[in-house]
């Protein structure tokens, strides 16, 4: 994997998450080592004490146990001082009865620059970015949202679960999994890359090993 710590380019899928020391509401941390052996989701928000961001943090917290069940941690980020994060957490607790339990990075702008979180065409605050990072510290998914659009947290949870299943079973995940319009909750078998395997696919499908629409579109239920 390419190590992006040697340059200032924005990270790409498959890159190692860059090494960095950050100040958070849970103290100083070294990323990605702090989450060694776990998946983690780093997500940036434009600013504390803003309406859409508040709805997002409540939604993330309400699903925090679901992320932890997948051995996945959460960490937020914005270019705000740590005391602002703490006061915002207190406001959410007092007014929404939700206690934010995951750390939030207090960025000076250096992390945002390294991760490409400020897009001049959308203002000077960090955009709503999401980085899904696996147990080997590889960046597996990157999402960018404009400041005016709140994220679907269930989709981010689905991404983590789907990527873990894909890794474990050496399969691909269809659109809208686990409710795909063609194959339901089945997973996709990677297409054959040579004529011998292509021929064998249909023979194996006839034997009931999996199902195929054609040799290049085969699927199966997990566990089969």
CATH of the domain at 47: 3.40.30.10
Look up the domain containing 224 and give its range. Answer: 170-224
Q: How far apart are CA 71 and CA 193, in angstroms?
A: 33
* Count of the separate structural domains present in the chain: 2
User: Tell me, what's the pLDDT at 114?
Assistant: 86
Q: What is the DSSP letter of 120?
A: G
Residues 141 and 209 in one domain: no
pLDDT digits (tens, 9 = 90+) for 23-76: 999 999 999 999 999 999 999 988 899 999 999 999 999 999 999 999 999 999
Listed residues 152, 181, 197: the one ending a domain: 152
Does residue 78 fall inside a structural domain? yes
User: Tell me, what's the pLDDT at 95?
Assistant: 97
**53 an active-site residue?**
yes
Model confidence, pTM: 0.90
Encoded tokens for 107: 């960025």
User: Tell me, what's the pLDDT at 110?
Assistant: 84
User: Tell me, what's the pLDDT at 4?
Assistant: 44
Which residue in 53, 72, 212, 218 is the catalytic one? 53
Residues 147 and 175 in one domain: no
Q: What is the DSSP letter of 148?
A: T
Q: Which residues of the chain have pLDDT under 70?
A: 1-9, 118, 120-125, 224
């Amino acid at each position: 994997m390419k190590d992006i710590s040697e340059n200032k380019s924005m990270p790409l899928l498959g890159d190692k998450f860059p090494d960095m020391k950050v100040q958070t509401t849970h103290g100083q941390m070294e990323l990605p080592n702090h989450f060694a052996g776990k998946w983690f989701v780093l997500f940036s928000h434009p600013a504390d004490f803003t309406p859409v961001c508040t709805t997002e943090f409540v939604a993330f917290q309400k699903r925090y146990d679901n992320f932890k069940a997948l051995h996945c941690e959460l960490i937020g980020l914005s270019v705000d001082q740590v005391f602002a994060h703490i006061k915002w957490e207190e406001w959410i607790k007092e007014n929404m009865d939700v206690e934010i339990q995951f750390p939030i990075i207090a960025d000076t702008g250096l992390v945002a620059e390294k991760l490409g979180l400020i897009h001049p065409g959308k203002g000077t605050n960090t955009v709503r970015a999401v980085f899904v990072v696996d147990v080997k510290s590889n960046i597996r998914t990157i999402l960018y949202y404009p400041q005016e659009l709140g994220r679907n947290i269930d989709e981010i949870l689905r991404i983590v679960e789907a990527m873990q299943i894909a890794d474990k079973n050496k399969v691909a995940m269809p659109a809208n999994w686990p409710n795909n319009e063609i194959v339901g909750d089945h997973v996709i078998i990677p297409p054959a890359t040579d004529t011998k395997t292509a021929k064998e696919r249909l023979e194996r499908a006839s034997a009931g090993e999996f199902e195929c629409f054609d040799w290049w579109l085969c699927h199966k239920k997990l566990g089969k």
